[in-house]
Structure 1
Amino acid sequence: MAAVSLEDSWVLSLDASLTELSFVLDLALTPAHSAYIAFARGQACCFARGTLRIESESAVLVRRSSLPPATDAAGELDYGHIDAFQQVSSGDAMWALTGDWGEALVREPRVVLELDDIARR
């Protein structure tokens, strides 16, 4: 996860099941990411569409925001950023995610990040 900036990535959709949270994102890649390419003038980051799945053996607790999504320059809906993804307290197995989209608590998360095969944005 060090090769992406969740704070600069855009949440395009969010799905939740009992033990999984899945975000479709316009991911902001850092130069450390193998798919990073120099970004075009006027862009703040190298973006790539991808999916972030957070899985757990325990129930994932999600509270979605009641705020409506914004519409970006391309006409797509976006739900802001993942502002934080951090351990609740030192040594705790519980992790919290927060952002304009809402908040979630996940115990012992397994994180899977997949980039789409489409061209970088």
Structure 2
Amino acid sequence: MAETAANRICKVLAVNQENEHLMEDYEKLASDLLEWIKRTIPWLEDRDPQKTIQEMQQKLEDFRDYRRVHKPPKVQEKCQLEINFNTLQTKLRLSNRPAFMPSEGKMVSVSNGVCLKQ
């Protein structure tokens, strides 16, 4: 009887630790992604006219580079963020735990509206 109780407690603790790990991963990924977005927005909003054709071509090439190289991994990170959030919420719901509420400004819906549409 005591062994069964000990096993159940161990399982509950393992699930709680896994959930804590998922929460930490979510918070870190959300922070990193939002920081990148905050750094990237001013660059994307810089629409000052260029003085020469070479400057304009360079700016266009920089934007193409952003679209091909820099943005795809961040879109992937955003997808991973959503997966982590949904997985965590499901696990918490299945174990009758309260829903996970990320830190202020780190909800999935916030990152949806912040930037990646540009």
| More strand by percentage | 1
Greater CA radius of gyration, 1 or 2?
A: 2
Measured against the shorter chain, the TM-score band is under 0.3
Q: Relative contact order (C-alpha < 8 Å, sep 6+): which is higher?
A: 2
TM-score, length-scaled by structure 1: 0.23
TM-score, length-scaled by structure 2: 0.23
